[in-house]
């Protein structure tokens, strides 16, 4: 959520920000609503102050008179009643007026709330302007000595590659048919060594982020209430993307939503808390199952393990003080962690500076990490794919946008409450990461070598198949 005070002092910044992100939201309307509501509120508070003043001076009198009334009779009683009536009349008139103002205010409130939640965080000035992912800018590439993505797979390894879809079929690692039978399109079943490899990369990634980088391991809910989705900034914009469990329609207290990332649970953890400043930064990591409806992605990446409704992900978040330099430093650090992990797995990757149009509502800045997938991309002369980078990670910097919604604060040196800054990044998402692993590590005989880094979590196995 944006800071309303900032909106008042510089609405143009938010108008431009929404435009650059390609998000349609009526910022001027929000500004106008804010003005109207403040005027109403001021008026109402004035009336209420008057009411309070009057009732403070007449209240005790009324109480006293009512006490006397009990023992009074005849003419004395009538006089007392008259006196009480007069005293009671004064605040009663104000009451109606206050109620009217309150009603006017209540009429505007829902629109104001909805609009405020919809205004995106403006992108940072140094984020390149652009409309779609095509406008993202490559800022770095890396590859191991034994594989250069600039050359063809055959040039690198001496034989034509299979796609991961062919590999998992031939090696019996995944059953798409059974997944679809049970749960519908974009579902799958990991079988045998496929499941073991999946678990091995997850375990490797969680061990890596906790043991080597000091993140605290957590297991968090993946079924959460709406407040948690709104607080973490996934709602309202991403409502279509989340599975919805309608518990209220069957008598439950409230509906629930399946989370699309462990970020929700990690960030929701401290919702409505005032954190000890000395405890910052907080570094949390979780491995959790992620659920995504992929609404609007119909026809896109329909085959294979790339775009699926359910997967597992190791996620990292950092909650730090409200300091831009610190925030930026953590962003770099979190990207560095992922680079180190991919280098350990010896997977070629590149870093992309996302353009304004590719940023979500809650991000000021986002760097995507894409891994090289030989079975992806346009077909070559032989009718086989020539390879392409595919997104495997995404590192976001959010300033206080998320913590403001979550009401997550700490006390600064002056004792003032300040909203924390937050950041998040994928550590590793599987089975998507299995695509580059299987495709990169395949051998001419159809087997797949297990990356050295994963062997300890694969019971020492050196290869799959063959």
Partner RNA sequence: GGUGGGGUGGCUGAGUGGUUGAAAGCACCGGUCUUGAAAACCGGCAUGGGCCAUUAGGUCCAUCUCGGGUUCGAAUCCCGACCCCACCGCCA
**Residues found near RNA in the complex (CB under 7 A):** 4-5, 38, 41-42, 45-46, 48-49, 52-53, 55, 58-60, 62-63, 66, 88, 91-92, 95, 106, 248, 251, 253-254, 274, 409, 415, 417
Name which of 45 and 323 has its Cβ closer to RNA: 45
3-class secondary structure, 207 = helix
- Which of 47, 186, 292, 397 is an active site residue? 292
Least distance to RNA, CB of residue 88, Å: 4
**Residue 119 near residue 7, CB atoms below 8 Å:** yes
**How many angstroms separate the CA atoms of 209 and 336, rounded?**
12
State yes or no: is 279 an active-site residue. no
Token pair, residue 219, equals: 């297991």
**Residue 414 near residue 434, CB atoms below 8 Å:** no
Least distance to RNA, CB of residue 390, Å: 36
Least distance to RNA, CB of residue 216, Å: 21
**How many angstroms separate the CA atoms of 33 and 171, rounded?**
61
State yes or no: is 432 an active-site residue. yes
Name which of 46 and 138 has its Cβ closer to RNA: 46
- Which of 397, 404, 409, 432 is an active site residue? 432
State yes or no: is 212 an active-site residue. no
| DSSP-assigned letter for residue 124 | P
State yes or no: is 394 an active-site residue. yes
**Residue 179 near residue 392, CB atoms below 8 Å:** no
State yes or no: is 118 an active-site residue. no
Least distance to RNA, CB of residue 271, Å: 13
Q: Parallel, antiparallel, or unpaired for β 282-291 and 244-245?
A: unpaired
Name which of 52 and 444 has its Cβ closer to RNA: 52
- Alpha carbons within 13 angstroms on the beta-carbon side of residue 199 total 12
Name which of 140 and 254 has its Cβ closer to RNA: 254
Least distance to RNA, CB of residue 202, Å: 21
Q: Which of 221, 233, 227, 286 is nearest to 259 (CA)?
A: 221
Name which of 378 and 415 has its Cβ closer to RNA: 415
**How many angstroms separate the CA atoms of 428 and 446, rounded?**
25
Positive or negative, the CA dihedral 284, 287, 291, 297 is: positive
3-class secondary structure, 371 = strand
Least distance to RNA, CB of residue 294, Å: 28
**How many angstroms separate the CA atoms of 390 and 370, rounded?**
5
Q: What angle do CA 65, 66, 71 make, to 5 degrees?
A: 95
- Which of 81, 111, 339, 391 is an active site residue? 391
Name which of 66 and 181 has its Cβ closer to RNA: 66
| DSSP-assigned letter for residue 447 | -
**How many angstroms separate the CA atoms of 237 and 255, rounded?**
18
What are the residue numbers of the active site? 292, 307, 391, 394, 432
């Amino acid at each position: 959520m944006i800071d309303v005070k900032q909106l008042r002092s510089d609405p143009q910044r938010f108008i431009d920000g929404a435009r650059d992100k390609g998000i349609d939201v009526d910022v001027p309307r929000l500004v106008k609503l804010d003005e109207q509501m403040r005027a109403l509120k001021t008026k109402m508070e004035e009336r209420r102050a008057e009411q309070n003043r009057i009732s403070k001076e007449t209240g005790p009198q009324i109480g006293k008179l009512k006490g006397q009334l009990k023992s009074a009779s005849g003419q004395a009683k009538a006089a007392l009643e008259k006196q009480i009536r007069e005293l009671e009349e004064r605040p009663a008139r104000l009451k109606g007026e206050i109620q009217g103002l309150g009603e006017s205010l209540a009429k505007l409130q829902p629109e104001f709330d909805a609009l405020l939640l919809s205004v995106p965080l403006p992108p940072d000035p140094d984020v390149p302007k652009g409309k779609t992912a095509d406008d993202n800018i490559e800022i770095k590439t890396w590859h191991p000595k034994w594989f250069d993505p600039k050359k063809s797979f055959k040039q690198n390894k001496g034989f034509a590659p299979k796609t991961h879809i062919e590999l998992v079929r031939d090696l019996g690692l995944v059953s798409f048919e059974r997944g679809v039978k049970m749960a519908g399109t974009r579902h799958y079943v990991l079988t045998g060594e496929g499941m073991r490899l999946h678990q091995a990369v997850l375990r490797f990634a969680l061990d890596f982020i906790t043991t080597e980088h000091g993140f605290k391991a957590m297991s968090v809910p993946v079924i959460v209430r709406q407040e948690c989705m709104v607080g973490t900034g996934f709602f309202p914009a991403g409502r279509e993307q989340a599975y919805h469990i309608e518990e209220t329609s069957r008598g439950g207290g409230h509906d629930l939503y399946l989370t699309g990332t462990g970020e929700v649970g990690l960030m929701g953890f401290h919702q409505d808390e005032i954190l000890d400043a000395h405890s910052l930064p907080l570094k949390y990591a979780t491995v959790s199952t992620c659920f995504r409806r992929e609404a609007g992605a119909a026809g896109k990446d329909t085959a294979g393990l790339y775009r699926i409704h359910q997967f597992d992900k190791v996620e990292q978040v950092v909650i730090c003080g409200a300091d831009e330099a610190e925030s930026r430093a953590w962003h770099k650090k979190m990207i560095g962690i992922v680079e180190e992990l991919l280098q350990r797995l010896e997977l070629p990757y590149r870093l992309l500076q996302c353009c304004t149009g590719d940023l979500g509502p809650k991000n000021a800045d986002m760097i995507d990490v894409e891994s090289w997938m030989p079975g992806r991309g346009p077909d070559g002369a032989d009718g086989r794919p020539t390879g392409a980078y595919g997104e495997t990670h995404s590192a976001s910097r959010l300033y206080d946008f998320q913590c403001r919604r979550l009401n997550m604060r700490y006390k600064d040196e002056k004792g003032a409450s300040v909203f924390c800054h937050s950041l998040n990044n994928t550590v590793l998402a599987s089975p998507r990461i299995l695509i580059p692993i299987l495709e990169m590590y395949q051998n001419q005989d159809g087997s797949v070598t297990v990356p050295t880094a994963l062997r300890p979590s694969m019971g020492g196995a050196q290869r799959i198949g063959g």
